[in-house]
Amino acid sequence: MALPVNVRDLMRAGAKLTEEREKSVRLVVAVELDAPDALLAALEDVLLPRNARTSFEVGVVGEGAPRVTASTDAVVGVLGGGGSAMADYLAQARAGDAHVVTLKLAGAGSAAPATVGQPLDDFLEGEDAERLVRHDLGRWLAERMHEKRLALAAGLGFTRPAVAGEYVKATAWQNALIGGVTIIPGADMPLMTGNQAKMVLQIAAAYGEKLDMERAKELLAVVGGGFAFRSIARQLLDFVPGFGWALKAGVAYAGTTAMGKAAIAYFEEGADIGRVVRDLEAGTLAAVERARALRSGGRDPSPEPDDEGLAPYKLEAPRGDAGS
């Protein structure tokens, strides 16, 4: 089956992604004196710039607080008691163009969104300091800094899974829309496959992969496999009466999500490309069965997201020593 994706077009997209990855990123971390040591240690572990284009400034609020300038992309307030000094500092930070978030370890002080003037969505609180930083803060940065996602991933490695996940979610919803509204059988395939090829390239860029011709062909092996499996799935669903359009949207979403998670696993864990394609096949066929089962039960065929907002299919990436 011919793959409706032009490799040279993919390479031009890769060149643009490379330019986006070269943008500068500046973060400011404002800390209260009584901020928990565990939270500070978790931040110290991840705030390790991988290139000269990523920089951050750290300071104590009330004692030489870090400057928020026009070049500041995001301000991270690390709460302890959540006193008036932090509230005033954050108010000034929000007056500019920077994105502002606060981190609070559960049980450490009485700070609340209202006491520091933070919107609820920008007030991150959790019981585990490492998860609060690596998962919650990484996800928040990826969502808010959409104009500099690739530069963020290039400079701060802990944000890579969240940045890649944002690309997967966006592409999955695009393909769900295409799959749901396309009337002519097969007319959606080039559009959906093109979207998936771009998604995989975006994930590769987020993980700092060199976007050359050889890598483009390697990535297209993943997309090509998914295209073949999805074609079979769509043919099966053409026989479902009534709500076939909804099932097609669900399969488009689930199949794209499965492909995205497989690609993330490939880069995150060094998975073998052949194993990724086999996992993708299993995930896509599972999506078909799930959609058909939901149709029989009369429920909404749209897949439920997991705690990362991506699932429903957990693709386990093979480890480097996995061979049995």
| DSSP one-letter string for 216-238 | HHHHHHHHHHHHHHHHHHHHHHT
Same domain, residue pair 99 and 218: no
> What is the number of alpha carbons within 13 Å of residue 125 lying toward its C-beta?
17
Q: How far apart are CA 101 and CA 144, in angstroms?
A: 10
> Under a CB-based contact definition with an 8 Å cutoff, are residues 244 and 237 in contact?
yes
276 inside domain: yes
One domain, residues 99 and 195: no
Q: Is residue 249 part of a domain?
A: yes
Q: Is 8 a member of any domain?
A: no
Question: Is the domain of 45 the same as that of 78?
Answer: yes
Partner residues linked to 58 by β-bridges = 29
Q: Are 78 and 32 in contact (CB under 8 A)?
A: yes
Q: Report yes or no: 111 and 87 within 8 Å, Cβ to Cβ.
A: no
Do residue 83 and residue 164 come from a single domain? no
Phi, psi of 75 (to 5 degrees): -120, 130
Which two structure tokens, joined as six digits, stand for 318?
């093979």
- What element of type H or E holds 27? strand 25-31
Count the alpha carbons within 13 Å of 268 in the hemisphere toward its beta carbon. 21
**Are 288 and 181 part of one and the same domain?**
yes
Are residues 138 and 179 located together in one domain of the fold?
A: no
Q: Considering 109, 132, 155, which residue would you say is the last residue of a domain? A: 155
Domain presence at residue 230: yes
Residue 19 included in any domain: no
Q: Give the domain CATH number at 94.
A: 3.40.50
Q: Is residue 252 part of a domain?
A: yes
User: Are 252 and 277 contained in the same domain?
Assistant: yes
Is residue 194 located within the same domain as residue 221? Answer: yes
Judge if 238 and 286 occupy the same domain. Answer: yes
In a domain, 319, yes or no: no
Sheet holding 25-31, edge to edge: 54-60, 25-31, 74-78, 99-105, 123-126
CB count within 10 Å of CB 156 equals: 23
Tell me whether residue 179 is in a domain.
yes
Q: How far apart are the first and last CA of the chain?
A: 32
pLDDT of residue 263: 78
Task: Show the DSSP H helices in the chain as ranges.
Answer: 7-21, 37-46, 84-94, 113-116, 129-131, 138-144, 149-155, 160-181, 189-206, 213-237, 244-269, 273-297
The torsion of the CA quartet 122, 126, 129, 132, rounded to 10 degrees, works out to: -40
**Residue in 8, 31, 34 with CA at minimum distance from that of residue 78:** 31
User: How many CA atoms, within 13 angstroms, populate the side-chain half-sphere of residue 69?
Assistant: 9
238 φ, ψ to 5°?
-60, -20
230 and 151 part of one domain? no
Average pLDDT by stretches of 10, the chain with 324 residues: 58 80 94 93 91 91 86 94 86 92 90 91 95 96 93 94 93 80 54 78 83 66 59 53 58 77 78 59 62 55 50 37 34
Last residue of a domain, one of 105, 134, 155: 155
pLDDT of 216 reads: 63
- The three-point CA angle 21-26-28 to 5° equals 150
Structural domain for 71, as ranges:
25-155
pLDDT of residue 72: 94
Among 130, 155, 180, give the residue marking a domain's end: 155
Rg for the chain, CA atoms, rounded: 22
- Residues 77 and 176 reside in one and the same domain: no
Query: Considering its fold, how many domains does the chain have in total?
Result: 2
What's the confidence (pLDDT) of residue 175? Answer: 80
User: Largest alpha-carbon pair distance within the chain?
Assistant: 69
127 & 44 share domain: yes
